[in-house]
Amino acid sequence: MFGQGLLKGLQITLQELFTKKVTVQYPEESLPLAPRFHGEFVLDVEQCIACSLCANACPNKVIEIETAKLDKKRVLTGYMMRLQYCLFCGLCVEACNKGAIRFSQKFEMAKYFRDQIPLILYKGEPPVQEEQGNTGITAGEAEGTEV
Amino acid sequence: MLRTEEITLNMGPQHPSTHGVFHVVLKMDHEVITEARPICGYLHRGIEKLAEARTYTQFIPYTDRLDYLAAMLNNTGYVQAVEKLMEIEVPERAEYIRVICCELSRIASHLIAVGTYSVDIGGITGFMYCLRDRERIMDLFEMVCGSRLTLSYMRIGGVAEDLPDEFIPALCQFLDEMPSRLDEYDGLITGNEIFQARTKHVGLLDPGVAINYGISGPNLRASGVFWDLRKNRPYSVYDRFDFEVPLGKRGDCFDRFTCRIKEMRQSLKIIRQAVEQLPEGPVMAKVPKVLKPPAGDVYHEIEGAKGILGYYVVSDGSNKPYRIHVRRPSFINLGFLNELCKGWKIADVVAILGSLDIVLGEVDC
Amino acid sequence: MPGSSIPSTVIDGLKDKFPAIEVSENLTITVPEAELLSFMRELRDNPDYDFNFLTNLTAVDYPDNFTVIYNLVSFKYGYTLMAKVNLGKDEPAVSSLTSLWGSADWQEREVYDLFGIIFTGRHNLTRILLEDGFAGYPLRKDFQWVGGRE
Ligand code: SF4
Ligand code: SF4
């Protein structure tokens, strides 16, 4: 009989009315993220030895590292990611064998202006030996990344 | 005698039923199509050229951006081609993980195909249902590799990371629930009389012509041609699984659609077997840090979601590929659109184009 | 990694019929441009091989020559075959295979678009991915792109 298929469809949608909702009210609620989630980057400045492995692994030249020589040692003076070119592929994180560059769970990275996109993970004086304990700058605190 | 005049109508480049930026110039005699000239390239990024400036590993994220609805399959095709060139033996566990991920990707891609096809024909509800379930696959991928769409999970020699502990239970739950969801689609979309009227006996594709035009994947199998590389030329560990290749009879839009739904059931079957057989062990072969395949070339094909996905890789012995060419199934399937649309009504063009299941990221490369 | 998977008897038979072809170690067949069409027609029409599926058609820009690559599949026997044609650097041209396989149509247009290789004996050889007025052929190694960064 013509129309049977239509009725079957209506029956399915009616059943669905009584099942649990799968959507959430986003800004108020949010779904849990997987531990491996590729969110915004964080840099553990103390761990970073400025070896540029991450920058070389990147397919899209996203990472720009500035270094300085300090007592024959190479130290980090700047770490900037041009996130507008980032593929979030994770090859940089994989390349770093110090575990210094990592993904965080932050995914709300939209910016109002293009010049705010570059993510400055470190900028400033090379960490001096005795101060090394408190130079950990995370993404949110670094200058130029606030909306 | 009525005066008739041929009219030209532009479908796209911005048109919901083209599933991306794609342009078809339709020439019509009244409502009947006399010519459908596809114009593609709006999404051309020159990925093959970009590859030449990148190392072998660095090209992996770019393969995601070809068929972005089935990124795992694109990754796999590429890494397998390079592995073939370098003669790398991939650990068993990695092969199984690849199979699981590839089949999940195939289901995700077919869910989009089925869902958007339902929208194209006018049933929005079906689309919502398909996307709801696809979301769960995205969640599974997020667990495995941290990304949802552009996954970049495969590596030359294995996979990036082992499966997390929570993955297998979540996957099993998905496998248990999915068959009833597929029944829902059957009830909601396949069984719908309006849907059947719009798709049955429309856009007939003759098997001989389909082969001649290089059409592959579900589109070819819907015409009754048994050609699935997972069966005909098994790669990876596909020869260890028991599954069927669904075939169509008439080769019309309806067959192409139902073939995809049936294939999802088979993919679930493969995943279930792969989970059962999943061996322990490493997930990455011993490969040098800097990959320098020997000079030479290789062509490798896998069964992608849209059809036969081939990678042609030429190496000159350096750490960057000399040339990479991708045989993109959507691109070649689309080459027959003109012939396929001729003689059908304008409303059928949407049905025919939707049934081919193209993805523009892959067409334009 | 073999370029083709076909029994050696088939290759020998082909060599007898087309003495000008060269078969490399990994079973890739290099065909002279002049014989391409007849060679391909034989491959398609002879029921002993029945290569009914032209799966891939592409080109490579080597330092000394252009090479056009054809990958054929026989559904009946499961054979695969890789054939190559070497072309000169100036005004490369090769016979079109659109008369044999419909799938050659778009793929040849793609190769023309990106490499500037002319396929003779076919109609509608126009750009397919790039816009019509585009200057140059991007996949040639000497192509200089403008724009981009750094
Ligand atoms: S995620 Fe990928 S693209 Fe982004 S910075 Fe890391 S390596 Fe580069
Ligand atoms: S983040 Fe890691 S890889 Fe990058 S420079 Fe620092 S230590 Fe080296």
What SS3 string covers A18-81? Answer: CCCCCCCCCCCCCCCCCCCCCCCEEECCCCCCCCCHHHHHCCCCCEEEEEEEECCEEEEEEEEE
| C51 within domain boundaries | yes
Q: Does the C-beta of A53 come closer than 6 Å to ligand 2? A: yes
**Angstroms from A62 CA to nearest CA on chain B:** 13
- Interface mutation target, options C55, C84, C109, C112, chain B, most CBs of B under 10 Å: C55
B135 touches chain A (CB under 8 A): yes
Q: Is the CB of A52 within 6 Å of ligand 2?
A: yes
Partners for B (CB, 8 Å, 3+ pairs)? A, C
- Quick one: which ligand is closest to B146's CA? 1
Ligand 2, residue A55: give the atom nearest the CA: 4
Q: Tell me if B283 sits within 8 A of C29, measured CB to CB.
A: no
A98 lines ligand 2 (CB under 6 A): yes
**Which chain C residues touch A if contact means CB-CB below 8 Å?**
149-150
Pairing of strands B32-39, C80-87: unpaired
Nearest CA to ligand 2 atom 4: A54
Residue nearest to atom 7 of ligand 1 (CA): A58
Position B311 scores a pLDDT of 93
Q: Which phi and psi (to 5°) does residue B6 adopt?
A: -75, 130
CA distance C75 to chain A (A): 38
Of B32, B260, B24, B228, which is closest to residue B126 (Cα–Cα)? B260
Element holding A144 (H helix, E strand): none
Residues of C in contact with A86 (CB under 8 A): none
Q: Do A6 and B146 touch (CB under 8 A)?
A: no
Residue-wise pLDDT tens digits, C100-149: 898 898 999 999 999 989 998 888 888 888 888 888 888 888 888 776 66
Question: In whole angstroms, what is the distance from residue A102 CA to residue A40 CA?
Answer: 8
Can you tell me which atom of ligand 1 is nearest the CA of B61?
A: 2
Adjacent-strand bridge partners of C61: C66
C145 belongs to a structural domain: no
Q: Quick count: other Cβ atoms within 10 Å of Cβ B163?
A: 20
Total number of domains in chain C: 1
From the CA of B336, how many Å to the nearest CA of chain C?
8
Q: Per the CB < 8 Å rule, is B144 touching A36?
A: yes
Is the peptide bond prior to B13 cis by the omega test (within 30 degrees of 0)?
A: yes
How many Å lie between the centroid of ligand 2 and the Cα of residue A64? 11
Find residues 73-132 of chain A whose CB sits inside 8 Å of chain B. 87-91, 94, 103
Q: Supply the residue whose CA is at minimum distance from atom 8 of ligand 1.
A: A58
Relative to the CA of A90, which ligand 1 atom is closest? 1
Query: Distance between CA B55 and CA C40 in Å, rounded?
Result: 35
CATH number (domain holding residue C26): 3.30.460.80
pLDDT digits (tens, 9 = 90+) for A15-71: 888 888 888 898 898 888 888 899 899 988 888 888 888 998 998 889 988 888 877
pLDDT number for residue B310: 92
Read off the pLDDT band of A128 (50, 70, 90): low
Q: What percent of chain A has pLDDT over 70?
A: 84
pLDDT of residue B365: 79
At A1 the pLDDT is 59
The C-alpha atoms of residue C68 and residue C88 are separated, in whole angstroms, by 11
**pLDDT tops 70 at residue C2:** no
Q: How far is CA C142 from the centre of its chain?
A: 21
Residue C135 in any domain: the answer is: no
Cβ contact C56–B213 (<8 Å): no
Nearest CA to ligand 2 atom 6: A48
How remote is the CA of residue B99 from the centroid of ligand 1, in Å? 26
The torsion angles phi and psi of B215, rounded to 5 degrees, stand at -70, 140
* Secondary structure (DSSP) of C113-145: HHH--EEES-S----SSS-TT--S-TTSTTPPP
Please check whether residue C24 lies inside any domain of the structure. Answer: yes
**Nearest ligand by distance to the CA of B145:** 1
What local confidence, expressed as pLDDT, does residue B2 receive? 67
Nearest C-alpha in B relative to C79: B233
Please report whether residue C132 resides in a domain: no
Q: Among B178, B187, B217, which Cα is nearest to B355's? A: B217
A73 in reach of chain C (CB within 8 A): no
**Residue A84 forms contact with C (CB below 8 Å):** no
For residue A136, the model assigns a pLDDT of 44
pLDDT surpasses 80 at A130: no
CA C16 to chain centre: 22
DSSP B345: B
CA angle B62, B68, B73 (to 5 degrees): 80
- Residue-number span of the structural domain to which C35 is assigned: 4-90
Does residue A61 belong to the interface with chain C, where contact is any CB pair within 8 Å?
Answer: yes
Q: Examine the pLDDT at C42 and tell me if it is beyond 70.
A: yes
Q: Which residue's entry shows tokens 């309006």? A: B194
Q: Which residues, including other chains, have CB under 8 Å from residue C7's CB and lie 6 or more apart?
A: none
Q: What is the pTM of this model?
A: 0.89
Q: Is the CB of A48 under 6 A from ligand 2?
A: yes
Chains touching chain A through at least 3 C-beta pairs below 8 angstroms are B, C
Q: What are the sequence ranges of the domains in chain B?
A: 7-364
pLDDT grade, residue C57 (50/70/90)? very high
Instruction: Kindly give the distance from the C-alpha atom of residue A91 to the centroid of ligand 2, in angstroms, as a whole number.
Output: 12
Low-confidence ranges of chain B (pLDDT < 50): none
Task: Tell me which amino acid residue C33 is.
Answer: E
Per-residue pLDDT band at A134 (split at 50, 70, 90): very low
pLDDT at C150: 55
DSSP reduced 3-state for A101: strand
Residue B48 contacts by C-beta under 8 Å, 6 or more apart in sequence? Answer: B323, B324, B325, B326, B365, C114, C139
Which two tokens mark B291? 């990959």
Q: What is the ipTM of this complex?
A: 0.91
How far are the Cα atoms of A130, B7, C86 from residue A135, in angstroms, in the given order?
Answer: 11, 70, 61
CATH code, B7-364? 1.10.645.10
